[in-house]
Structure 1
Amino acid sequence: MKKSVVVLFLFTVFFSCKPKETVTSTKLDNKTEVAIKGNWRIVSVSFPGSDYLKVTSFNIADAKCFEGSEWSFVSNNNKGSMLLNKGNCPAYSSNITWYVNKDGFMVMKFLTDGVKAKHTSSGYILTVVNVNETSFQLVDKVNVGGKMVDLTYNFERK
């Protein structure tokens, strides 16, 4: 009797708990990924107060340093690269791994040489908007002066 109560309890707990959906859902939006595939350049970075305030993007450099940066997205293996090459800004390049999920979020990690993506614990979640043949935008939420605002990276196809 005691054993059947325990089994019934475990059965109830197991089937009544539903896994939580997260923003990093891996249900892919293949159509958007294929549209983003290719070589891109960030033509502008904007957020409220961007003419007066500095915001560090991706823990790398000032957001404005990303203007002119070059990005490559490969959709069949969700790999790519980026190159930061603006004057008066730190030079930086990295391989990336990325995907776009059905909720419209791009999940992206900057990879360290010799370290696999699955061993890279931090990454970024950005909203993908206005995707077309020649441009798209990635939108990040950042803290500017104690207020969360949208920081928009405007990409144009190279």
Structure 2
Amino acid sequence: MIKQLTRFLMVPMAAMLLFSACASQQGASAPTASGMKKSATGKWTLNNVSYEGLPSTAKIKTVFSNIPPDCLQGSNWVLPSNAYGSYTLNATGAGCPTGTQKIVWSTLNQGGQIMIQFKELMDGVKAKNITDGYRVELQSADNASMTWRAPVSYEGKTAYIIYSFSRQ
């Protein structure tokens, strides 16, 4: 009788363990490129460009299209779901360009890391004919903020430029 009771209790307990294991794995799933793209879609202001792993004396002279990093602060980025967006530079510092640049953007999963990539669109040139572009890690994106992390080489080591955005 005890043997039968033990067998009777073991089946539901095993099923509960199996379901709880599946549920915990489900909740811990990694973000997908399409899910992160949905989170990144919208209008953003680039509030801050900072550095990780670089000494304070190190200077990054230019980033996207030879723009000084300080000139990107305050820029507005439009990342619509149709992939055709833009960024507008409006910093007034010395040597800062101004204006709007059209882009085509997307996300992809690169070895488990979600990346955001974009190409600058030139008048009269189709996106498929543009071979140069930029790719950065999309670290986070939610209803209020978004963070990009771009690796750079400094003295043989990898450091990072951190781009911090707020949703408009």
Letter in 2 for 1:93: T
TM-score of the superposition, structure 2-length normalised?
0.70
Q: Does 1:62 align with 2:68?
A: yes
Structure exhibiting the larger radius of gyration computed from Cα positions: 2
Separation (CA, whole Å) in 2 of partners of 1:149 and 1:116: 33
RMSD between superposed Cα atoms in Å: 1.8
In the alignment, what sits opposite 1:111?
A: 121
Q: Share of identical aligned residues, percent?
A: 29
TM-score of the superposition, structure 1-length normalised?
0.75
8 Å CA contact retained: 1:136, 1:156: yes
8 Å CA contact retained: 2:33, 2:115: no
Equivalent residue runs for 1:1-158 within 5 Å: 29-47=33-51, 48-49=54-55, 53-75=59-81, 77-88=82-93, 89-103=96-110, 104-158=114-168
Higher helix share: 2
8 Å CA contact retained: 1:39, 1:70: yes
8 Å CA contact retained: 1:55, 1:144: no
In the alignment, what sits opposite 2:5?
A: none
| Stretch moving more, 129-138 or 52-61 | 52-61
In the alignment, what sits opposite 2:13?
A: none
Q: Which runs of 5 or more residues in structure 2 are unaligned? A: 1-31
Aligned residues: 130
